[in-house]
Amino acid sequence: MAKNGKSEVETHGLDLDHELPAAENEAQENSAASGASVSADPESELQKLKAERDTLIDRLARSQAEFENARKRAIREQQEYREYAVSDLVKSLLPILDSFERALHTSSKDDTDLRSGVELIYKQLLDALSKSGLRPIPARGEPFDPHLHEAIEMVDTDEVEDHHVLDELQRGYKLKDRLLRPAMVRVARNPKS
């Protein structure tokens, strides 16, 4: 089996140092022969391994606790953000609320003063909401768009083109690019178009 004193395994170029460990009996014989590779006291080796294990378990428990605390903190911060996200909008509406209170406390015999005051308050409210990204949806005279308009009624008429908005019953709004509320409209049905 051996050629020139070398085993057949060595001749094929295998690395004997990286082979699978020998069987249990062979391992004991090899370790007894080497003697220096195994520590003299297995009990001290066991104590070292237990101490290392306890250290790793402690680090794992601390890491898990830190992660749980961070998760709870993130949830709490998100909840607080949601609760107070509208605070800027509410602050911008406070002057309008003040204007309504002043209008209600003043007695005017002239309806034109009251109307002009309400128009001013309405303009203030629209300005405050538009700064927050609110935009009215154009409806009257526009082609009916089911994504922006909610048809309440179809009306036969010659005044407006077919499938165009005849009247706006309630204004619709977008908040930035998202539809907040569709416009409630009456749509024209023009048989001549």
**What are the residue boundaries of the structural domains of the chain, listed by start?**
41-84, 86-132, 136-193
With 90 as the cut, is the pLDDT of residue 105 above it? no
The better pLDDT of the pair 83, 120 is held by 120
The CATH class that applies to domain 136-193 reads mainly beta
Exposed / middle / buried, residue 17 (Cβ in 10 Å: 0-12, 13-18, 19+):
exposed
Helix, strand or coil, per DSSP, at residue 54: helix
Render pLDDT for 10-68 as a digit per residue (tens, 0 to 9): 445 555 555 545 555 554 555 554 444 445 688 999 999 999 999 999 999 999 999 99
Q: How many whole angstroms separate alpha carbon 73 and alpha carbon 67?
A: 10
Q: Is the pLDDT of residue 3 over 70?
A: no
Phi, psi of 13 (to 5 degrees): 85, 20
**Contact criterion met (CB below 8 Å) for 85 and 106:** no
Task: Quick: pLDDT tens for 85-103.
Answer: 777 777 788 888 888 877 7
